[in-house]
């Protein structure tokens, strides 16, 4: 059984005037011990997907349809308490912005203890402090007393992100959701933090969904990668396969556009802009930017085709009988 299985998830955001159709039939699986990458441009719905799993979308966000099966139970159908318990004890999430994710006017200790009080409610109150210290040491913050007595703004960006990771570990006993954990950090620390996350996940036997723009790190840290474009999963493949021979036109363009250290050439980027979620393109959402688009792409949404073992791609070029390209 899969640890997590998201099926046909649709999520909308509503503003006063418009409805933004963001997640468009997203499906994804994570089995025990799986390390899964999730890549795609900014604004393609990766964060929305992670937030939907824990149901922590902002008030404007609404899950329209689909299932989020956690250990076989649909979290969208069970009681609030059940979901709360999953948030407290089973799934942890690392946020993008390490300054924003900590409350500026409370000490780290205060926030950490509140988290542990709920994630480790079976422990004695007196254990929580030593537990916090232990978690901080595990993220390489040895000066635990200083960190706990600090306010977030007194810590460096890297330290804050380590604190967030330590907090996430408190709740993540099965699955860690890492939402671009290094985007807002100095380049020099990015690798350190990603490596730390990789080590911790292995050491603690966690499964992980890693959202990141650092494709190199995704390649190193994950077994399988989902590629997301405009709220749809366009390709799923074992990591090495995906990077060596991408199938979907978007995937190849995404990999092409990533800057490489070894090359003096800048990535070209992908022409055009991500779509307007108020009026998403019909058929394949990528067709306005796709150099291979044909008539069918505008009209019919491409099915998810299993091209080879564990390789799925949602593109008419690979659909039977469509013979596009």
Partner 1 sequence: MGKTKAFFKSIYKNVFVRRALRSLLSLLGLSLLIFILARVLPGDPIKTALGPDIPEEVVERYREMLNLNKPLYLQYFYWLMDVFQLKLGRSLVTIRDVSADITDFFPATLELLLASAVFRIIVAFPLGVLSGRKPGATMDNAIRVLAYVGICIPTFGWAIILQLVFAYWLNWLPAIGRISEEFMGIPKVTGLMTIDSLISGNVPAFIDVLKHLLIPTVALSIGGAVQEARILRAGMIENISRDYVLNMKSHGIPERIIYFKYVLKPSIIAVVPTMGLDVASTVGNAFLVESICNWPGMSRYGMMAMLRKDLNAIVGVVLVIGIVYIVINTITDIILYAIDPRIRLKERGES
Q: Hey, is 55 helix, strand or coil?
A: coil
CB of 263 to partner 1, least distance (A): 35
By beta-carbon proximity to partner 1, the closer residue of 85 and 294 is 85
CA atoms within 13 A on the CB side of 93: 19
CB of 130 to partner 1, least distance (A): 19
User: How far does CA 38 lie from the centroid of its chain?
Assistant: 6
By beta-carbon proximity to partner 1, the closer residue of 170 and 230 is 170
Bridge-partner residues for 30, per DSSP?
Answer: 4
User: How far does CA 176 lie from the centroid of its chain?
Assistant: 9
What CA–CA distances, in Å, run from 105 to 144, 148, 250, 308?
Answer: 19, 13, 43, 53
Q: 3-state SS of the chain: helix, strand, coil percent to 5?
A: 35, 25, 40
CB of 259 to partner 1, least distance (A): 27
Q: How far apart are CA 253 and CA 157, in angstroms?
A: 32
By beta-carbon proximity to partner 1, the closer residue of 67 and 114 is 114
CB of 193 to partner 1, least distance (A): 17
By beta-carbon proximity to partner 1, the closer residue of 153 and 279 is 153
By beta-carbon proximity to partner 1, the closer residue of 43 and 238 is 43
CB of 131 to partner 1, least distance (A): 14
CB of 154 to partner 1, least distance (A): 5
Contacts of 130-139 spanning 24+ positions with Cβ under 8 A: 131/170, 132/166, 135/166, 135/167, 135/169, 135/170, 136/162, 136/163, 136/166, 138/166, 138/169, 138/200, 139/163, 139/165, 139/166, 139/169, 139/196, 139/200
The residues of the shown chain that bind partner 1, judged by CB under 8 A, are 51, 54, 56, 58-59, 84-89, 91-93, 95-97, 100-107, 111, 114-115, 118-119, 151, 153-154, 164, 167, 170-171
Q: Are residues 224 and 196 in contact, defined by beta-carbon separation less than 8 angstroms?
A: no
By beta-carbon proximity to partner 1, the closer residue of 57 and 189 is 57
Q: Hey, is 296 helix, strand or coil?
A: helix
By beta-carbon proximity to partner 1, the closer residue of 95 and 250 is 95
CB of 150 to partner 1, least distance (A): 9
Which run of H or E residues covers position 168? helix 157-171
């Amino acid at each position: 059984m899969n640890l997590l299985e998201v099926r046909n998830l649709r999520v909308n955001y509503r503003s006063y005037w418009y409805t933004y159709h963001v997640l468009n039939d997203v499906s994804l699986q994570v089995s025990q011990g799986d390390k899964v990458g999730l890549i795609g441009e900014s604004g393609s719905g990766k964060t929305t997907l992670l937030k939907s799993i824990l149901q922590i979308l902002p008030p404007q966000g609404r899950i329209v349809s689909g299932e989020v099966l956690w250990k076989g139970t649909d979290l969208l159908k069970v009681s609030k308490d059940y979901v709360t318990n999953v948030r407290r004890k089973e799934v942890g999430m690392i946020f993008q912005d390490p300054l924003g994710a900590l409350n500026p006017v409370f000490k780290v200790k205060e926030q950490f203890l509140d988290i542990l009080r709920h994630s480790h409610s079976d422990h004695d109150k007196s254990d929580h402090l030593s537990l916090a210290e232990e978690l901080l040491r595990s993220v390489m913050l040895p000066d635990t007393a200083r960190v706990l007595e600090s306010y977030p703004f007194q810590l460096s960006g890297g330290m804050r992100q380590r604190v967030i990771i330590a907090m996430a570990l408190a709740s993540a006993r099965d699955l860690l959701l890492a939402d671009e954990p290094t985007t807002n950090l100095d380049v020099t620390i990015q690798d350190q933090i990603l490596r730390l996350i990789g080590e911790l996940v292995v050491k603690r036997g966690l499964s992980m969904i890693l959202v990141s723009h650092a494709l190199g790190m995704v390649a190193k840290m994950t077994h399988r990668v989902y590629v997301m474009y405009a709220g749809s999963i366009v390709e799923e493949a074992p990591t090495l396969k995906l990077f060596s021979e991408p199938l979907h036109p978007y995937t190849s363009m995404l990999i092409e556009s990533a800057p490489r250290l070894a090359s003096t050439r800048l990535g070209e980027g992908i022409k055009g802009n991500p779509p307007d979620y108020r009026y998403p393109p019909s058929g394949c959402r990528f067709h306005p930017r796709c150099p291979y688009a044909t008539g069918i792409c505008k009209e019919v949404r491409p099915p998810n085709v299993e091209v080879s073992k564990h390789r799925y791609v949602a593109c008419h070029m690979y659909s039977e009988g469509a013979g596009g390209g």
